[in-house]
Amino acid sequence: MKAFFKSVFASALGTVLGLGLLFFSGMLLMIVIATLSSNQMGEVGLKQNSILYFNLKGRIIEQKGSFFADWAEDSPFFSGPRTHGLFEMLESLRKGKTDAKVRGAYIKLGDLDCGWASIEALRRAFIDFKSEGKFVHVYAENYDERTYYLATVADKIYVYPEGSFEFNGIGVVPLFVKGTLEKLGITPQIFKVGEFKSAVEIFSQDRMSRESREQTSELINDLWNVFIQEVGKARNLEASVLNKLAADLEITRADQAIEKGLVDEPVAEEQVLELLRGLTHTKSDQPAPLVSYSSYFHKLSEPAFNLSHKKRIAVIFAEGEIISGNSSDEYIGSDDLVKAMREVAREKDIKGLVIRVNSPGGSALASDVIWRQTLEVKKTKPVVASFGDVAASGGYYLSAGADFVYAEPNTLTGSIGVFGVMFTTQEFFNQKLGITFDRVLTHPYADIGDGSRNMNDFERNRIQAEVEKTYQQFLRVVKQGRNYQSPEEVDNVARGRVWSGIQAQQNGLVDERGGLYEALDKIAEVAQLGDDWEVEVFPREKSPFEQFMEAFGETSLFKKLVSLQQPVEELAKLWARLPQWQRQGGILALDPQQFVIR
């Protein structure tokens, strides 16, 4: 019997290993095929009258970064929402604008996970694309304010006849966990500077403070005013009319949107495709000549980062929370950014650097390390910062040394302030779980910050002093970088307050409104490059195998089996980030409760 079980086990193990080897060999073969395909990108031509296809559903990030990321999402193993690289989309439109074989663009819209500044940048790129006589058509089954704002660039806006249409204004609904902590017997220890640094209110209050409500109201009103102005211009409607439609909740369905002039026609997608076939003179028995923007980006005969050009401008993407160490999908690692900046500084053929920031901040120390490196690069090359959806707190800190700063009108920026947060868990462990702690120390404060005991006034004062010291350093960085005349002048625009891009420009935190390409043009102007330059992204692209393994990690085989819903999901994500904050020294330049404007 024992021999029988050994035989069965050996057979099963052999089968598993064999299947694993077969699967891995298949993956390697696909890598080879994909690599050969990518090496021949310049040889792959487009048909005449091709249409760039933007199937926009899912998350928009700053840069997707590799051929394999797109390949993985098209694989049968992938089941999650798609991600779209803003950089790849903008580059496709910039190149397609002057490509004689590209006749126009077709946007199919679904639910989008991104900030308003990303939509603003994409919208502006489509407007520029149309300036060369290209058409743009948009279709969606449902619209909300964000997707509709993008749709208004189109020559024609189509909607499914029975689709829904959200047009009721925008708002912010923050989550607070004070009551949860009280029920658990956990006491937050809050240290901060700036009455507008409302990030920590999530732990200490059950509703928004007066200061938080004030700045949030100004922010969303700025965003809404931009929305109304641009939509009104595109659809030839007065702002008062649009505001009344939103206030009275007059539009909830497709037919109402058509009646009020927000949408052109109610059709199914097949009718849109038929129209596109007509615009491109495609036979009725042939499919519309759609080419996905990602395929077009990877098959450009002159890629966006063409290294044959001696005149190059480097772009470094800084997206996520800021930490010391190495970067990941969710975090900006100071070690990796500093390494990339040093490489940029060494290369003589690179004439300038654009730091593209989309970050709520993070470790104050890591932000300072990155900021100091920008000063080193500035000794030999111009440095320009370009802000995406958010460049707040540490995200602003690391950019403050740039020669010039660009932000979208609906970028969330500023939040110049710092905080520290620790949690006393003594009651939770003692009263809720029956767990006790003892300690043996060489000095009275060897266990400062240990949550298993209460903190005394002396300890709280010392930590608060460190937070205030970090805040003063933050003010010095901004004063130096933005040429304010006094610490008081900086403090007036700081104190933890979050500003829109419009407000930030008015108070001197930002130089001009614009996005990545306005920042690149500024470098070209300062470095006197004319029009003869190209972009190179740093850190440089990884090997095909590394790209594949990263892309494969996004497939369904590596996805979590359980998906949490709002607001439980928000709370779970927040709780998961707490250990990371504690590892960063406890003092943060961060907005942990990031604005979700909906």
Mind listing the pLDDT tens digit for each residue in 243-274? 999 999 999 999 999 999 999 999 999 999 99
With bands split at pLDDT 50, 70 and 90, how would you rate the model's confidence at 3?
Answer: low
Mean pLDDT, residues 485-494 taken together: 93
Mean pLDDT, residues 28-35 taken together: 47
**One domain for residues 317 and 294:** no
Q: Judge whether residue 169 has pLDDT over 50.
A: yes
With bands split at pLDDT 50, 70 and 90, how would you rate the model's confidence at 150?
Answer: very high
With bands split at pLDDT 50, 70 and 90, how would you rate the model's confidence at 18?
Answer: low
With bands split at pLDDT 50, 70 and 90, how would you rate the model's confidence at 510?
Answer: very high
With bands split at pLDDT 50, 70 and 90, how would you rate the model's confidence at 45?
Answer: low
Evaluate whether residue 557 is within a structural domain. Answer: no
Q: Judge whether residue 589 has pLDDT over 90.
A: no
> Which residues pair with residue 424 across a beta bridge?
187
Strand spans (E) along 286-379: 290-292, 312-319, 321-323, 331-333, 350-359, 361-363
Evaluate whether residue 443 is within a structural domain. Answer: yes
- Compute the distance between CA of residue 80 and CA of residue 75 in angstroms, rounded to an integer: 11
- Compute the distance between CA of residue 135 and CA of residue 578 in angstroms, rounded to an integer: 48
Evaluate whether residue 284 is within a structural domain. Answer: yes
Predicted TM-score (pTM) of the model is: 0.83
- Compute the distance between CA of residue 130 and CA of residue 64 in angstroms, rounded to an integer: 25
End-to-end CA, the chain:
65
178-196, pLDDT tens digit by residue? 999 999 999 999 998 888 8
pLDDT at residue 304, as a whole number: 45
**One domain for residues 61 and 160:** yes
Q: Judge whether residue 291 has pLDDT over 50.
A: yes
Among candidate residues 460, 480, 328, 459, the one with its CA nearest the CA of residue 402? 480
Helix (H) or strand (E) holding 123: helix 116-130
Evaluate whether residue 514 is within a structural domain. Answer: yes
Domain count, the chain: 2
**One domain for residues 227 and 350:** no
Q: Judge whether residue 554 has pLDDT over 50.
A: no
Q: Lowest mean pLDDT: which of 339-343, 372-376, 569-573?
A: 569-573
Q: Which residue has the higher pLDDT, 396 or 539?
A: 396
Query: Cα-flanking dihedrals φ and ψ of residue 449, to 5°?
Result: 90, -5
Q: Judge whether residue 556 has pLDDT over 70.
A: no
Q: Judge whether residue 22 has pLDDT over 80.
A: no
Evaluate whether residue 231 is within a structural domain. Answer: yes
Write down which residue in 249, 265, 298 finishes a domain.
298
pLDDT at residue 298, as a whole number: 86
Evaluate whether residue 177 is within a structural domain. Answer: no
Helix axes 2-39, 544-552, angle to 10 degrees: 120
Mean pLDDT, residues 109-119 taken together: 95
With bands split at pLDDT 50, 70 and 90, how would you rate the model's confidence at 566?
Answer: very low
- Compute the distance between CA of residue 118 and CA of residue 63 in angstroms, rounded to an integer: 12
pLDDT at residue 332, as a whole number: 94
**One domain for residues 76 and 112:** yes
**One domain for residues 434 and 520:** yes
pLDDT at residue 64, as a whole number: 87
CATH number of 108's domain: 3.90.226.10
Write down which residue in 243, 271, 298 finishes a domain.
298
382-395, pLDDT tens digit by residue? 999 999 999 999 99
Q: Which amino acid is at 123?
A: R
Concatenate the DSSP letters of all residues of 547-583 into one string.
HHHHHHTTSGGGS-S----TTHHHHHHHHHHHHHHHH
**One domain for residues 234 and 368:** no
pLDDT at residue 82, as a whole number: 84
Q: Which residue has the higher pLDDT, 13 or 120?
A: 120
For the chain, give the number of residues: 598
Share of the chain above pLDDT 70, in %: 78
Instruction: Tally the C-alpha atoms within 13 A of residue 222's C-alpha that lie toward its C-beta.
Output: 22
**One domain for residues 294 and 325:** no
Evaluate whether residue 182 is within a structural domain. Answer: no
**One domain for residues 437 and 322:** yes
Q: Judge whether residue 377 has pLDDT over 50.
A: yes
- The CA-atom distances, in angstroms, between 52 and each of 105, 285, 288 are 5, 20, 11
**One domain for residues 290 and 421:** no
DSSP 328: -
**One domain for residues 333 and 471:** yes
Q: Which residue has the higher pLDDT, 40 or 295?
A: 295
pLDDT at residue 16, as a whole number: 46
Evaluate whether residue 580 is within a structural domain. Answer: yes
Write down which residue in 269, 298, 327 finishes a domain.
298
**One domain for residues 233 and 327:** no
Q: Are 536 and 312 in contact (CB under 8 A)?
A: yes
**One domain for residues 332 and 241:** no
Q: Judge whether residue 548 has pLDDT over 70.
A: no
408-463, pLDDT tens digit by residue? 999 999 999 998 889 999 999 999 899 999 999 999 999 998 999 999 999 999 99
pLDDT at residue 560, as a whole number: 37
Q: Average pLDDT over the chain, rounded to whole?
A: 85
Domain that holds residue 218: 45-170+211-298
